[in-house]
Amino acid sequence: MRTIDADVDGEFVRVEPVESDGLRVNGIPADLAHTRKADVRIDLVEGCKRCFVAEHVLGPLRLRGITAANVVGTVETWDFARPEHRFCYGADLAPSAVVGHPEGLPNPALAAALGSAGIVSNGDRSFGTVSEPLEYSHGGGTIRIEPLDPGTGVELDLVYGDGSFACTVPPDGADEATIDAVTHSTTPYLAPSDEEAATHAVADVLSDVVVIGDLDDVRIEADLGDAYHALTIGAARRARACGAYVERGER
Amino acid sequence: MSEFPTPASVHERALSVAGDGPAVLVGPALDTDLESPDVDVDGDCYVGPDAAAVGLLAAALDAGVGRLDYPDPSLAADGPWLVLSPCGGRLRTVDCGTATVRIEFDAPAAGSHARLTDQRKRLDSVLSAARPTHDHYPVELDDDGIFTTGMTTFSLESASADSVRLRATTTPSTTAEEIRDRFVDSPDVTRIVIERTVGVERAAPDAALRSAVEDAHVSVVGDCEYAWSSTPTALSTLPSANKIAFGAGTTERFDAEAVADTATILSKTVAAYGGGRE
What pLDDT was estimated at residue B1?
Answer: 45
User: Could you tell me the CA-to-CA distances from B133 to A32, B129, B182, B235 in Å, in that order?
Assistant: 37, 9, 11, 29
Of chain A, the percentage scoring pLDDT greater than 90 comes to 94
Q: Kindly identify which residue of chain A lies nearest to residue B200, measuring between CA atoms.
A: A90
Is a pLDDT exceeding 80 seen at residue A123?
no
Min Cα–Cα distance to chain B from A5, Å = 34
pLDDT average, residue stretch B28-43: 92
- Partner residues linked to B244 by β-bridges: B82
Q: What's the predicted TM-score (pTM) here?
A: 0.95
Residue A1, H or E segment = none
Residue B60's region, left for phi above 0, alpha for psi from -120 to 50, else beta, is alpha
For residue A189, pLDDT over 90 is answered with yes
Query: What residues pair up with A98 in beta bridges, in sequence order?
Result: A52
CA distance B135 to chain A (A): 9
Residue B120 near residue B243, CB atoms below 8 Å? no
- pLDDT > 70 in chain B, percent: 98
Q: Span B21-50, mean pLDDT?
A: 94
Per-residue pLDDT band for B278 (boundaries 50, 70, 90) equals: very low
* pLDDT band per the 50, 70, 90 thresholds, residue B183: very high
Q: What integer pLDDT is reported at residue A203 of this predicted model? A: 98
Q: What mean pLDDT do residues A205-219 have?
A: 97
pLDDT digits (tens, 9 = 90+) for B75-117: 999 999 999 999 999 999 999 999 999 999 987 777 777 777 8
A92/B150 Cβ within 8 A:
no
Assembly ipTM: 0.94
Task: Give residue B277's pLDDT.
Answer: 53
| A96-120 pLDDT tens trace | 999 999 999 999 999 999 999 999 9
Q: Which residue of A has its CA nearest to B170?
A: A80
Select from B150, B172, B226 the Cβ nearest to the Cβ of A81: B150
Is it the case that residue A125 has pLDDT exceeding 70? no
Band of pLDDT at residue A74, cut at 50, 70 and 90: very high
Lowest pLDDT segment from A78-87, B32-41, B251-260 = B32-41
CA B166 to chain centroid, in Å, comes to 19
Cβ atoms within 10 Å of A140's Cβ, excluding its own: 12
Query: Mean pLDDT of all residues in chain A?
Result: 96
Q: Are A128 and A215 in contact (CB under 8 A)?
A: yes
Could you give the CA distance from residue B266 to residue A214 in angstroms, rounded to a whole number? 37
